[in-house]
């Protein structure tokens, strides 16, 4: 040391201290590794180091770069936890210039002053060559990357003037160095480089290519231009890479398998002229019939300097995507794919140079270049892209595939690297960025390899993986399972034929001409299925529900004749439904978990973004449902096992119910939305079980699936462990439990009930009651048996373990009074319910489930009990007027997050049609305010109405009312496409005599073809739309109290006698059908209304054989009406659709009938009273 300091006597103390530190560092870290052939002492080495440092720093001999501290590699990796850069050569201005290059959202690397030196080797330790460059000193080794390197550097002590250090939190290593400036050799050239063969013997590529055709055993030296470099591959423990030397049309593939030559991969680049000596010709097992040049241990690599700058400039290969007209690409090379509409295209190989602007998905190998071009490195092995590919880095790509619109989820232009492509960083990024740590093979890449995915499919898989991670991980899908789930979804969107079955052939991919690899062809913008989150779907529906609202289309043509109250009732509820496929221009898919909402008693689909209600039915048919289905109405067997399943929905209907409060004075004001005082909506999905794709089954389902496969064994415990795989949450029933097997006999509707929480405290809670029969006694288990196949001991009552836990007891009602009916159990929160899958036989033999009737049976059976259960198809839904002054005691809790939105006292009237015979229908009054809102009560839906009160009106019409115990379940979905649905079969043709007799089961609605005998009465009037008084000359006639309404509506009613030969009927026509009855066109009808306006009211009726009017019989209007009504224009053949006004069958009448000269007295059933619903224009 003293000897060394002798040279620096004149230096300051601080400089001397710095010199000592450098000397110590060299002695400890660098000197031990120096080759003895160099023959230097520590002192000489340190002096050599100092001279290189000073030269690099550009400082005169006078000054020393004392601000730079000597740091060993182990210190660097240990202490440096943030990315940094250091440069001996840069001035502060230069550094600032670097920093200015920063992309938006990125900062430049922090600057540190470190003196870094070490030996360059091709592995972290002696004999551990891995094909990459490493910097080593006595204490450690750090992986490094260079923009350009030379084989002459191997084993030399280097000074690194400018470099970045990027620490990585990977468990394997500390980080890596990006060597920006070429390293400076510290030691003098120890020896002349041994070429290992004379360069003059080097043969051209053309000759080598000929040589490859016939085998030759001699060692050859070949020089040529590198046209292809493969990435470094590691296959079954062997590391190797290939390159192709070209000259004109000739090409010679070279295989580098020698471990000690693999660092050459870093020393060559495409376009460079090189010479490799001592190669052998050999055949390749994996590439039958072809010979390649193989590098031997004696081979040497010579960069062929003299021709480097020659004609074939690598830059000439470069292409700019802007000049690459996409249109020509679209049209050319389009191979038609016969079976599907998926367009396939051939990609072209290009070279490209650009700046990495973003890491799109490090794990998937997806990057963005120049802000617009995508780069996919997934088809290359991982180590190729470990370092250097950071935002801000310049990258040079050779032989990459140019793809135009391979996927809607990637940039329009994607460059995809395969095994013949090389991606090299040409300038390291000066920016500090989050370091993406890549482990070994990512699951995505493994999936790519295992399934031989095309690039379009792979890009979709990456998209899918990203959205599942966002929306379902970690709550329902564990991180390590995300890719499995994404793979299953990919299977859902791809047909089997779209998959590439071709295994990848690495040698062919790397070496064969013309080039063939999985990226050669790709699908254009396919798969294009978009995965919407539940929130996205909800948002879309929320905006669609109101943007689709057209008030005038909600009301029928009869709206013109409706009073204010009638009109607003019409508008109070409407529905808009859209198929999922119609919601977006691209196919949509929804992925979520099905769960039951305990607070809303509905099925819901959810992900981490939001929750959406669902109506799920078992079959698509909207027809009759058999009783066996109804017996499992708890939820239906398949449905209970659906719970907690991860499902994918592609076919479903988005239903948007609108509930509005309006006060439109008349239909003329419908264009003024300010008359809408309140509006909210109900959004939900409707789908069939069969339309669901189960991506990840619930525990319950996997058990039942497994049970199908295997016979029952006693291995319950063993199975249990296996089934827990997919179960996300911790099951509290891992420990011992008791069970009770029961059969569900009936269940009631969900509603608010008084529940006792303690001895004298009661709260309103939502709940429902079910009656069950116990099939056996309480059983004790070590583990929850779940819905596994039932054991005989569970049903026959033997082996009873008296645990006295499940003792049925009477539930105390209000005021401590016990209900002394049947014993009852109150479900406790911690109880679990499982549907047993093998209970069919038991159920069928012992079933005494209450019969579910058809609509016509409810209508006509005289013996039916007052409480009925029946099924049918909804043909109409009407919101009933709120009864004034009666505030509902209970408010319906809504599913929307806005708690202020409640349907107060919502009562509806459903017209339920018999699902077999269209002529039978019943009105059902449902009070929706005492329970959770029931979605799915739409026109066309098949419903089961359980425990409804059957009543008969004064007019003998049968109708039903809901009771607190009533339950409505939707079991079939209506036709969705029509929106309003209701395209049921037309009502049957009816003979009036038959309809009058009441012998057969009367239809409520039927078609009649007959003759109008006479118009019995016709009433035309203008009514105040608010109060219903006569409206005369533009104002309401009501005086006490005065009504200032200025809105009148015209109404008409006609009562007509119709006969069809078999009998007679009285038919009522209301406003909109009267004009048709009178055969008036629009102009005439409006003229008539104008005439009536003067008096406000006119009525003509038949007395004897003529028509008359009580007032002003001479008035022209009256005369016209009388004349019109008795004319042949009106009294004509007519075809009508009618509804029975009253089902009353009164006493028969005795009537005189004349046939020629004879008179008969005959008994006639009373004429049926019908309401005309529609006049068919066909009067034939």
* Stretch near Zn ion under the rule CB under 5 A, chosen from 428-436, 617-625, 1034-1042, 1168-1176: 1034-1042
Q: Which DSSP string corresponds to 453-506? A: --HHHHHHHHHHHHHHHHHHTTTTS-GGGHHHHHHHHHHHHS-GGGS--PPP-H
Q: Least separation, in Å, of the C-beta of 1119 and Zn ion?
A: 30
Q: Least separation, in Å, of the C-beta of 385 and Zn ion?
A: 16
Among 355, 472, 517, 1138, binds Zn ion (CB under 5 A): 517
Dihedral pair phi/psi, residue 1023, rounded to 5°: -120, 145
* Stretch near Zn ion under the rule CB under 5 A, chosen from 315-323, 325-333, 511-519, 629-637: 511-519
Total residues belonging to the chain: 1180
Q: Least separation, in Å, of the C-beta of 51 and Zn ion?
A: 49
Q: Least separation, in Å, of the C-beta of 565 and Zn ion?
A: 12
Site string for Zn ion, 470-509 (x = CB under 5 A): ----------------------------------------
Whole-angstrom Cα distance, residue 848 to residue 836? Answer: 18
Site string for Zn ion, 518-557 (x = CB under 5 A): -x--------------------------------------
Q: DSSP letter at 166?
A: E
Q: Which is nearer to Zn ion, 744 or 1043 (CB)?
A: 1043
Q: Which DSSP string corresponds to 211-253? A: HHHS---S-EEEEEEEEEEPPPEEETTEEEEEEEEEETTEEEE
Q: Least separation, in Å, of the C-beta of 1031 and Zn ion?
A: 7
Q: Which is nearer to Zn ion, 688 or 1043 (CB)?
A: 1043
Cα angle value 285/288/291 (rounded, 5°): 85
Q: Which is nearer to Zn ion, 655 or 1036 (CB)?
A: 1036
Q: Which is nearer to Zn ion, 20 or 1043 (CB)?
A: 1043
Q: Does 1043 bind Zn ion (CB under 5 A)?
A: yes
Q: Which is nearer to Zn ion, 1 or 235 (CB)?
A: 235
Site string for Zn ion, 61-80 (x = CB under 5 A): --------------------
Q: Least separation, in Å, of the C-beta of 350 and Zn ion?
A: 11
Q: Least separation, in Å, of the C-beta of 272 and Zn ion?
A: 21
Q: Which is nearer to Zn ion, 1019 or 1038 (CB)?
A: 1038
Q: Which is nearer to Zn ion, 884 or 1082 (CB)?
A: 884
> Which region holds residue 1145: left if phi is over 0, alpha if psi is between -120 and 50, else beta?
beta
Q: Which is nearer to Zn ion, 276 or 517 (CB)?
A: 517
What lies within 8 Å, CB to CB, of 877 at 6+ separation is: 573, 908, 909, 910, 911, 937, 938, 939
* Stretch near Zn ion under the rule CB under 5 A, chosen from 328-336, 523-531, 717-725, 1026-1034: 1026-1034
Dihedral pair phi/psi, residue 390, rounded to 5°: -110, 155
CA 955 to chain centre: 53
Dihedral pair phi/psi, residue 199, rounded to 5°: -70, -25
CA quadruple 336, 338, 342, 348: dihedral, nearest 10: -30
Residues 996-1025 that bind Zn ion (CB under 5 A): 1024
Assigned token pair, 1143: 């089902």
Q: Least separation, in Å, of the C-beta of 677 and Zn ion?
A: 20
Q: At what angle do helices 455-472 and 482-493 cross, to 10 degrees?
A: 130
Q: DSSP letter at 818?
A: B
* Stretch near Zn ion under the rule CB under 5 A, chosen from 64-72, 204-212, 861-869, 1032-1040: 1032-1040
Q: Which is nearer to Zn ion, 516 or 812 (CB)?
A: 516
Q: Least separation, in Å, of the C-beta of 1015 and Zn ion?
A: 29
Q: Least separation, in Å, of the C-beta of 455 and Zn ion?
A: 10
Q: Which is nearer to Zn ion, 949 or 1038 (CB)?
A: 1038
Per rule CB under 5 A, count of chain residues that contact Zn ion:
11
Whole-angstrom Cα distance, residue 614 to residue 187? Answer: 77
Q: Which is nearer to Zn ion, 469 or 516 (CB)?
A: 516
Q: Least separation, in Å, of the C-beta of 1136 and Zn ion?
A: 33
Q: Which is nearer to Zn ion, 371 or 1042 (CB)?
A: 1042
With 0-12 / 13-18 / 19 or more C-beta atoms within 10 angstroms meaning exposed / middle / buried, residue 343 is: middle
* Stretch near Zn ion under the rule CB under 5 A, chosen from 131-139, 727-735, 961-969, 1028-1036: 1028-1036
Assigned token pair, 779: 């059983």
Pairing label, strands 588-596, 530-532: parallel
Q: Which is nearer to Zn ion, 418 or 523 (CB)?
A: 418
Q: Least separation, in Å, of the C-beta of 321 and Zn ion?
A: 18
Q: Least separation, in Å, of the C-beta of 515 and Zn ion?
A: 6
* Stretch near Zn ion under the rule CB under 5 A, chosen from 157-165, 329-337, 649-657, 1039-1047: 1039-1047
Q: Least separation, in Å, of the C-beta of 185 and Zn ion?
A: 39
Looking up tokens 């660097």 gives 76
Dump strand ranges (E) for 995-1132. Answer: 1005-1024, 1031-1032, 1035-1036, 1048-1059, 1064-1070, 1097-1103, 1106-1108
Do the beta carbons of residue 1134 and residue 1175 sit within 8 Å?
yes
Whole-angstrom Cα distance, residue 798 to residue 795? Answer: 8
- Does residue 555 sit in helix, strand or coil? coil
Distances (CA, A) of 732 to 561, 585, 697, 825, 961: 63, 45, 20, 21, 42
Q: Which DSSP string corresponds to 315-371? A: GGGB--GGGS-HHHHHHTTEE--SSSS--EEE-EEEEEEEEEEEEEETTTTEEEETT
Q: Least separation, in Å, of the C-beta of 420 and Zn ion?
A: 5
Among 230, 1002, 1045, 1102, binds Zn ion (CB under 5 A): 1045
* Stretch near Zn ion under the rule CB under 5 A, chosen from 172-180, 683-691, 951-959, 1030-1038: 1030-1038
* Stretch near Zn ion under the rule CB under 5 A, chosen from 546-554, 681-689, 951-959, 1037-1045: 1037-1045
Q: Least separation, in Å, of the C-beta of 401 and Zn ion?
A: 5
Sign of CA dihedral 176, 178, 184, 190: positive
What lies within 8 Å, CB to CB, of 61 at 6+ separation is: 54
Q: Which is nearer to Zn ion, 159 or 519 (CB)?
A: 519
* Stretch near Zn ion under the rule CB under 5 A, chosen from 72-80, 455-463, 802-810, 1042-1050: 1042-1050
Q: Which is nearer to Zn ion, 1038 or 1099 (CB)?
A: 1038
Q: Which is nearer to Zn ion, 619 or 1029 (CB)?
A: 1029
590 beta partners = 532, 649
What lies within 8 Å, CB to CB, of 545 at 6+ separation is: 576, 656, 658, 681, 683
Do the beta carbons of residue 271 and residue 225 sit within 8 Å?
yes
Residues 272-301 that bind Zn ion (CB under 5 A): none
Q: At what angle do helices 482-493 and 443-451 cross, to 10 degrees?
A: 40
* Stretch near Zn ion under the rule CB under 5 A, chosen from 218-226, 687-695, 754-762, 1033-1041: 1033-1041
Site string for Zn ion, 404-423 (x = CB under 5 A): --------------x-----
Helix (H) or strand (E) holding 1151: strand 1149-1155
Q: What is the largest CA-CA distance in the chain?
A: 158
CB atoms within 10 A of CB 290: 15
Q: Which is nearer to Zn ion, 418 or 655 (CB)?
A: 418
Q: Which is nearer to Zn ion, 1038 or 1139 (CB)?
A: 1038
Q: Least separation, in Å, of the C-beta of 1027 and Zn ion?
A: 3
Q: Which residues bind Zn ion (CB under 5 A)?
A: 418, 517, 519, 1024, 1026-1027, 1029, 1036, 1038, 1043, 1045
């Amino acid at each position: 040391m003293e000897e060394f300091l002798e040279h620096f006597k004149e230096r300051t103390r601080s400089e001397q201290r710095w010199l000592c530190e450098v000397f110590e560092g060299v002695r400890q870290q660098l000197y031990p590794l120096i080759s003895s052939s160099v023959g230097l002492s520590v002192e000489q080495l340190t002096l050599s180091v100092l001279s290189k440092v000073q030269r690099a720093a550009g400082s005169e001999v006078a000054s020393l770069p004392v601000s730079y501290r000597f740091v060993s590699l182990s210190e660097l990796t240990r202490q440096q936890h943030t990315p940094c850069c250091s440069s001996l050569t840069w001035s502060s201005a230069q550094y600032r210039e670097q920093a200015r290059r920063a992309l938006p959202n990125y900062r430049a690397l922090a600057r540190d002053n470190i003196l870094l030196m070490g030996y360059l080797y091709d592995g972290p330790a002696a004999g551990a060559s891995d094909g990459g460059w490493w910097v080593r000193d006595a204490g450690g080794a750090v992986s490094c990357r260079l923009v350009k390197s030379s084989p002459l550097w191997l084993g030399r002590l280097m000074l690194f003037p400018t470099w970045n250090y990027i620490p990585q939190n990977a468990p394997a290593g500390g980080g890596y160095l990006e060597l920006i400036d070429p390293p400076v050799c510290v030691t003098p050239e120890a020896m002349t480089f041994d070429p290992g063969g004379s360069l003059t013997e080097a043969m051209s590529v053309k000759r080598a290519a000929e040589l490859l055709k016939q085998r030759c055993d001699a060692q050859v030296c070949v020089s040529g231009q590198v046209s292809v470099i493969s990435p470094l591959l590691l296959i079954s423990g062997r590391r190797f890479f290939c390159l192709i030397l070209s000259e004109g049309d000739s090409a010679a593939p070279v295989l580098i398998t020698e471990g000690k030559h693999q660092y050459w991969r870093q020393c060559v680049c495409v376009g460079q002229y090189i010479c490799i000596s001592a190669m052998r010709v050999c055949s390749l097992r994996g590439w039958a019939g072809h010979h390649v040049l193989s590098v031997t241990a004696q081979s040497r690599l010579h960069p062929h300097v003299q021709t480097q700058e020659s004609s074939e400039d690598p830059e000439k290969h470069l292409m700019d995507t802007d000049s690459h007209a996409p249109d020509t690409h679209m049209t050319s090379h389009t191979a038609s794919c016969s079976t599907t509409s998926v367009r396939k295209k051939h990609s072209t190989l290009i070279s490209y140079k650009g700046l990495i602007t973003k890491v799109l998905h490090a794990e998937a190998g997806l990057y963005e270049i120049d802000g617009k071009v995508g780069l996919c490195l997934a088809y290359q092995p991982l180590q190729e892209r470990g370092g250097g590919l950071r935002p801000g880095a310049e990258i040079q790509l050779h032989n990459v595939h140019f793809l135009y619109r391979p996927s809607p989820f990637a940039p329009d232009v994607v460059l995809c690297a395969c095994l013949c492509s090389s991606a090299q960083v040409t300038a390291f990024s000066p920016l500090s960025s989050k370091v993406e740590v890549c482990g070994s093979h990512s699951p995505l890449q493994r999936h790519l390899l295992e399934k031989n995915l095309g690039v379009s499919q792979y890009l979709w898989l990456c998209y899918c993986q990203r959205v599942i991670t966002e929306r379902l991980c970690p709550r329902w899908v564990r991180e390590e399972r995300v890719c499995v789930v994404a793979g299953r979804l990919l299977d859902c969107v791809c047909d089997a034929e779209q998959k590439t079955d071709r295994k990848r052939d690495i040698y062919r991919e790397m070496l064969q001409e013309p080039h063939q690899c999985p990226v050669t062809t790709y699908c254009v913008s396919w798969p294009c299925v978009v995965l919407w989150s539940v929130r996205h779907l909800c948002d879309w529906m929320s905006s669609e529900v109101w943007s689709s609202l057209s008030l005038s289309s909600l009301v029928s043509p009869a709206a013109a004749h409706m009073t204010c109250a009638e009109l607003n009732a019409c508008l109070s509820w409407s529905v808009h439904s859209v198929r999922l496929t119609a919601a977006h221009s691209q196919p949509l898919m929804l992925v979520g978990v099905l769960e039951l909402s305990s607070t809303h008693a509905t099925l819901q689909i959810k992900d981490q973004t939001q929750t959406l209600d669902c109506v799920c039915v078992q079959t698509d048919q909207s027809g009759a449902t058999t009783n066996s289905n109804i017996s499992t109405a708890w939820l239906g067997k398949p449905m209970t096992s659906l719970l907690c399943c991860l499902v994918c929905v592609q076919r479903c209907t988005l239903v948007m119910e609108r509930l509005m409060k309006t006060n439109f004075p008349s239909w003329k004001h419908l264009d003024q939305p300010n008359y809408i005082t309140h509006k909210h909506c109900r959004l939900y999905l409707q789908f069939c079980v069969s339309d669901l794709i189960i991506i990840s089954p619930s525990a319950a389902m996997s058990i039942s699936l497994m049970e199908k496969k295997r016979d029952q064994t006693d291995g319950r415990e063993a199975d249990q462990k296996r089934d827990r795989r997919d179960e996300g949450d911790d099951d509290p029933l891992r420990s011992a439990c008791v069970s009770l097997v029961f059969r569900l006999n009936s269940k009631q509707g969900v509603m608010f009930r008084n529940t006792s929480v303690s001895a004298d405290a009661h709260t309103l809670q939502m709940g429902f009651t079910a009656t069950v029969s116990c099939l056996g006694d309480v059983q004790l288990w070590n583990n929850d048996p779940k819905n596994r196949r039932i054991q005989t001991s569970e049903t026959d009552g033997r082996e009873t373990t008296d645990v006295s836990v499940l003792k049925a007891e009477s539930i105390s009602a209000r005021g401590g009074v016990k209900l002394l009916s049947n014993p009852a159990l109150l479900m406790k929160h911690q109880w679990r319910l499982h549907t047993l899958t093998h209970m069919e036989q038991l159920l069928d033999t012992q079933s005494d489930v209450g019969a579910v009737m058809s609509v016509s049976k409810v209508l006509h059976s005289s013996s039916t009990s007052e409480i009925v259960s029946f099924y049918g198809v909804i043909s109409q839904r009407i919101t009933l007027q709120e009864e004034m002054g009666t505030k509902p005691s209970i408010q319906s809790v809504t599913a929307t997050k806005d708690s202020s939105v409640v349907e107060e006292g919502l009562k509806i009237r459903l017209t339920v049609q018999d699902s077999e015979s269209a002529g039978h229908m019943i009105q059902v009054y449902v009070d929706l305010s005492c329970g959770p809102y029931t979605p799915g009560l739409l026109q066309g839906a098949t419903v089961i109405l359980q425990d409804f009160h059957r009543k008969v009106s004064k007019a003998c019409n049968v109708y039903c009312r809901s009771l607190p115990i009533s339950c409505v379940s939707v079991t079939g979905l209506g036709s969705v496409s029509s929106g309003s649905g209701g395209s049921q079969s037309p009502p049957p043709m009816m003979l009036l005599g038959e309809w009058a007799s009441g012998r057969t089961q009367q239809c409520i609605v039927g078609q009649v073809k007959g003759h109008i005998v006479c118009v019995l009465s016709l009433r035309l009037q203008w009514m105040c739309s608010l109060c219903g008084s006569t409206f005369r000359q533009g104002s309401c006639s009501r005086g006490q109290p005065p009504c200032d309404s200025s809105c009148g509506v015209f109404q008409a009613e006609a009562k007509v006698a119709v006969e069809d030969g078999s009998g007679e009927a009285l038919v009522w026509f209301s406003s909109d059908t009267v004009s048709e009855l009178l055969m008036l066109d629009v102009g005439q009808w409006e003229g008539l209304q104008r005439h009536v306006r003067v008096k406000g009211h006119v009525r003509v009726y038949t007395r004897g054989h003529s028509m008359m009017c009580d007032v002003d019989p001479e008035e022209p209007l009256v005369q016209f009406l009388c004349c019109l009504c008795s004319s042949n224009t009106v009294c004509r053949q007519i075809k009508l659709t009618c509804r029975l006004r009253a089902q009353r069958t009164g006493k028969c009448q005795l009537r005189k009938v004349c046939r020629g000269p004879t008179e008969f007295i005959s008994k006639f059933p009373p004429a049926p009273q019908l309401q005309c619903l529609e006049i068919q224009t066909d009067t034939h």
